[in-house]
């Protein structure tokens, strides 16, 4: 929430609010201007200061280091130290939290935790995907196997627990990826899967529950955000076709907006008492239908339980990257690298531009610049504002000689449904999973029998409009699924840029097995 900090400071003095109110707002999340303490730095993916705008494999990369195991989480930074998570072993038998020095990449300490439950370490599954939290007291990490833990700044264990042992195993096709949010006292976890799902507030000091609220079952990788409102801190969750606000102190549901399609990956943004929602086109849905779910609304006051929508996008959609705000504009990036720039106040489209790279991480906003870190190591830098202004394109590694993992070995896995040919006998695992929802065992699926993430595309796949998906229609869904996944294995191999953080004039870029530090200085 770094950009909120700077704007609130100006407004405090402009309208003579008390200094104490400002301190409470800016310190509640322990955010310092030089730190990046959580996923998207609290939800807005912003940094302040002077940062490099040009680099190459031979210039501007201060250091790079191979990391143990594999991880898809973003680095977090505090007091010139970087903290990352990883998993080790073919079955992800060990969970790691590792601390490095920002200045030179030297390892400071490493905390190792025996996983309480395991699963294959493959490209089909999440691998240390949730981003950790760091504050003045310690580092807190959540892993997709349900293990959650806290350590101090020397790497000593504070507490640990297993959510799967307490509440049951996770039922998720690709594993969990939602990152925790936090305030001064609590961690907030949104755990949504095929079984019992819940929103959890955990005491940072003890690891014990402060409250637990039920959530709908489903598949979601979105992460909650903490919003400062006139009514106090709220926890905003966008997933499973709803956006909801909860009282951060008690877990009480305060308001909810329904009818959102495709909000299973992009996370919400909070800016100026407004919430910007990102959504992607569902597997079998249309982009135009999904665009209506990319929207902006005012945080409701205590007299309303339903937000008033300010505007909806007409064409803009997200995919992996969450939306961001810069210079009076909202930005959405789809999976094809097409950038949509919309007016923050009205939602009117300023421009649509193909930027030339596909991003699996949310862009970083520094003052009036946006940095789009592509999954292939290419970074596109543009100026914020209603006109497209390209500033530079930098490359982190040589595309002809990409840095492949030095030690990590992917676990052997069964042939995926995406790799099966149509000639393979029997339905794919994907189709079997769909048919698992056939509650009346008639070989057909109604809307209600589909996974929540596919219900919004029911009309598009129900070709004869008879209210059920028959065997022919299910067969066409399977063919479409295989086609979409034809190159999933090769396109999901390292190096892939999963996450970026920014602090003290340096970018830290994370692939599955490597950290890069970009400072603008010559490579040592």
Q: What is the per-residue pLDDT for 23? A: 37
- Please give the average per-residue pLDDT across 458-475, as a whole number: 86
Task: Verify that 83 and 143 share a domain, yes or no.
Answer: yes
Does the structure show a pLDDT above 90 at 372? yes
Q: What is the per-residue pLDDT for 483? A: 67
pTM of the complete model: 0.85
| Three-state SS at 415 | coil
Task: Verify that 265 and 386 share a domain, yes or no.
Answer: yes
Q: Average pLDDT over the chain, rounded to whole? A: 88
Does the structure show a pLDDT above 90 at 159? yes
Assess if residue 424 is contained within a domain.
no
Residue 70 neighbours by CB under 8 Å, 6+ apart: 86, 87, 88, 121, 127, 128, 405, 408, 512, 513
Q: How confident is the model at residue 13 (pLDDT cuts 50, 70, 90)?
A: very low
Q: What is the per-residue pLDDT for 521? A: 59
Tens of pLDDT along 274-313?
Answer: 999 999 987 666 677 789 999 999 999 888 889 999 999 9
Does the structure show a pLDDT above 90 at 15? no
**Is residue 368 within 8 Å of 385, Cβ to Cβ?**
yes
Residue 446 sits in a domain whose CATH number is: 1.10.238
Residue 203: Cβ within 10 Å count: 14
Does the structure show a pLDDT above 70 at 24? no
Task: Verify that 242 and 344 share a domain, yes or no.
Answer: yes
Assess if residue 366 is contained within a domain.
yes
Q: How confident is the model at residue 437 (pLDDT cuts 50, 70, 90)?
A: confident
Task: Verify that 82 and 228 share a domain, yes or no.
Answer: yes
> How many CA atoms does the CB half-sphere of 294 hold within 13 Å?
35
Residue 102 sits in a domain whose CATH number is: 2.130.10.10
CA distance 204 to 61: 35
Assess if residue 412 is contained within a domain.
no
Q: Is 178 exposed, middle or buried (0-12, 13-18, 19+ CB in 10 A)?
A: buried
In terms of pLDDT, which residue wins out, 105 or 453?
105
Q: Domains in the chain: how many in total?
A: 2
**Is residue 257 within 8 Å of 313, Cβ to Cβ?**
no
Closest by Cα among 361, 291, 289 to 320 = 361
Assess if residue 101 is contained within a domain.
yes
For the sheet containing 94-101, what is the strand order?
76-78, 81-88, 94-101, 107-114
Which of 22-36, 84-98, 129-143, 409-423 has the lowest average pLDDT?
Answer: 22-36
**Is residue 451 within 8 Å of 438, Cβ to Cβ?**
no
Does the structure show a pLDDT above 60 at 32? no
Which of 21-30, 261-270, 452-461 has the lowest average pLDDT?
Answer: 21-30
Assess if residue 417 is contained within a domain.
no
Closest by Cα among 415, 363, 370 to 390 = 370
Does the structure show a pLDDT above 90 at 425? no
Does the structure show a pLDDT above 90 at 67? yes
Tens of pLDDT along 392-414?
Answer: 999 999 999 999 999 999 998 65
Does the structure show a pLDDT above 70 at 453? no
Task: Verify that 386 and 438 share a domain, yes or no.
Answer: no
Q: What is the per-residue pLDDT for 190? A: 98
Q: What is the per-residue pLDDT for 448? A: 86
Q: Is 257 exposed, middle or buried (0-12, 13-18, 19+ CB in 10 A)?
A: buried
Task: Verify that 504 and 440 share a domain, yes or no.
Answer: no
Task: Verify that 23 and 150 share a domain, yes or no.
Answer: yes
Task: Verify that 218 and 342 share a domain, yes or no.
Answer: yes
Does the structure show a pLDDT above 80 at 29? no
Tens of pLDDT along 113-138?
Answer: 999 999 999 999 999 999 999 999 99
Query: In this structure, what token pair is assigned to residue 399?
Result: 């595309």
Q: What is the per-residue pLDDT for 84? A: 98
Q: How confident is the model at residue 26 (pLDDT cuts 50, 70, 90)?
A: very low
Does the structure show a pLDDT above 70 at 8? no
Longest dimension (CA), the chain: 72
Does the structure show a pLDDT above 90 at 141? yes
Assess if residue 178 is contained within a domain.
yes
Q: Dihedral sign for Cα 204, 207, 212, 217, please.
A: positive
Give the CA-trace dihedral at 37, 39, 45, 48, to 10 degrees.
10
DSSP 230-251: TTEEEEEEEETTEEEEEETTT-
Give Rg (Cα) of the chain. 22
Task: Verify that 324 and 436 share a domain, yes or no.
Answer: no
Using the structure block, give the residue that is written with the tokens 């489903």: 218
Q: Where are the alpha helices (DSSP H) in 126-228?
A: 163-167
Range of the domain at 461: 429-489
Q: How confident is the model at residue 458 (pLDDT cuts 50, 70, 90)?
A: confident
Q: How confident is the model at residue 201 (pLDDT cuts 50, 70, 90)?
A: very high
Assess if residue 85 is contained within a domain.
yes
Q: What is the per-residue pLDDT for 285? A: 67
Closest by Cα among 407, 413, 449, 440 to 429 = 413
Q: What is the per-residue pLDDT for 487? A: 60
Tens of pLDDT along 226-241?
Answer: 999 988 999 999 999 9
Task: Verify that 442 and 392 share a domain, yes or no.
Answer: no
Does the structure show a pLDDT above 60 at 217? yes
CA distance 497 to 515: 10
Closest by Cα among 65, 62, 84 to 75 = 84
Task: Verify that 484 and 502 share a domain, yes or no.
Answer: no
Assess if residue 413 is contained within a domain.
no
Q: What is the per-residue pLDDT for 231? A: 86
- Please give the average per-residue pLDDT across 87-99, as a whole number: 98
Query: In this structure, what token pair is assigned to residue 378?
Result: 């290419």
Q: Where are the alpha helices (DSSP H) in 52-149?
A: none
Which of 17-31, 309-323, 355-369 has the lowest average pLDDT?
Answer: 17-31
Q: Is 164 exposed, middle or buried (0-12, 13-18, 19+ CB in 10 A)?
A: middle
Whether omega before 495 lies within 30 degrees of 0, making that bond cis, reads yes
> How many CA atoms does the CB half-sphere of 149 hold within 13 Å?
22
Task: Verify that 339 and 470 share a domain, yes or no.
Answer: no
CA distance 292 to 312: 5
Closest by Cα among 368, 281, 385 to 330 = 385
**Is residue 290 within 8 Å of 281, Cβ to Cβ?**
yes
- Please give the average per-residue pLDDT across 457-472, as a whole number: 86
């Amino acid at each position: 929430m770094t950009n909120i900090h700077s704007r609130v400071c100006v407004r405090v003095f402009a309208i003579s609010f008390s200094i104490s109110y400002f301190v409470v707002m800016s310190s509640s999340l322990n955010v310092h201007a030089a730190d990046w303490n959580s996923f998207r730095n609290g939800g807005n993916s912003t940094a302040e200061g002077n940062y490099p705008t040009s680099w190459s494999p031979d210039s501007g990369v201060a250091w790079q280091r191979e990391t143990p195991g594999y991880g898809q989480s973003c680095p977090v930074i505090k007091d010139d130290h970087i903290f990352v998570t990883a998993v080790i072993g073919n079955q992800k038998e060990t969970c790691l939290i590792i601390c490095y020095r920002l200045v030179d990449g030297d390892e400071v300490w490493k905390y190792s935790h025996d996983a309480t439950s395991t699963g294959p370490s493959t490209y089909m599954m999440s691998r240390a995907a949730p981003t950790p939290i760091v504050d003045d007291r310690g580092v807190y990490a959540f892993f997709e196997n349900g293990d959650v833990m806290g350590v101090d700044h020397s790497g000593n264990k504070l507490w640990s627990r297993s959510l799967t042992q307490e509440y049951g195993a996770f039922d998720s096709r690709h594993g969990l990826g939602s990152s925790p949010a936090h305030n001064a006292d609590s961690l907030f976890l949104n755990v949504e899967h095929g079984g019992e799902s819940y929103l959890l507030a955990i005491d940072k000091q003890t690891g014990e529950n402060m409250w637990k609220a039920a959530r709908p079952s489903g598949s979601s990788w979105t992460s909650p955000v903490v919003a400062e409102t006139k009514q106090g801190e709220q926890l905003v969750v966008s997933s499973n076709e709803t956006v909801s606000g909860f009282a951060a102190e008690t877990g009480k549901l305060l308001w909810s907006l329904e009818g959102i399609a495709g909000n299973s990956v992009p996370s919400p943004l909070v800016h100026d008492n407004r919430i910007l929602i990102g959504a992607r086109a569902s597997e079998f849905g249309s982009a135009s239908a999904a665009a209506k779910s990319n929207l902006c609304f005012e945080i409701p006051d205590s007299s309303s339980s339903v937000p008033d929508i300010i505007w909806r996008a007409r064409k803009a959609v997200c995919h992996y990257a969450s939306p961001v705000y810069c210079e009076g504009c909202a930005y959405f990036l789809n999976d094809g690298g097409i950038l949509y720039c919309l007016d923050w106040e009205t939602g009117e489209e300023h421009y649509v531009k193909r930027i030339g790279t596909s991003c699996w991480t949310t862009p970083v906003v520094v003052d009036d610049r946006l940095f789009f870190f592509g999954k292939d190591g290419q970074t596109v830098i543009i100026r914020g504002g209603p006109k497209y202004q390209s500033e530079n394109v930098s490359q982190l590694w040589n595309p002809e000689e990409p840095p492949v993992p030095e030690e990590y070995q992917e676990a052997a896995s069964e042939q995926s449904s995406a790799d099966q040919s149509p000639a393979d006998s029997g339905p794919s695992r994907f189709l079997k999973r769909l048919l698992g929802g056939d509650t009346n065992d008639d070989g057909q699926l109604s809307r209600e029998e589909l996974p929540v993430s596919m219900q919004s595309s029911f009309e598009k796949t129900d070709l004869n409009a008879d209210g059920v998906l028959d065997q022919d229609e299910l067969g066409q869904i399977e063919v479409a699924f295989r086609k979409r996944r034809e190159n999933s294995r090769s396109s999901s191999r390292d190096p892939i840029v999963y996450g970026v953080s920014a602090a003290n004039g340096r970018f830290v870029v994370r692939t599955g097995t490597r950290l890069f530090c970009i400072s603008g200085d010559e490579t040592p």
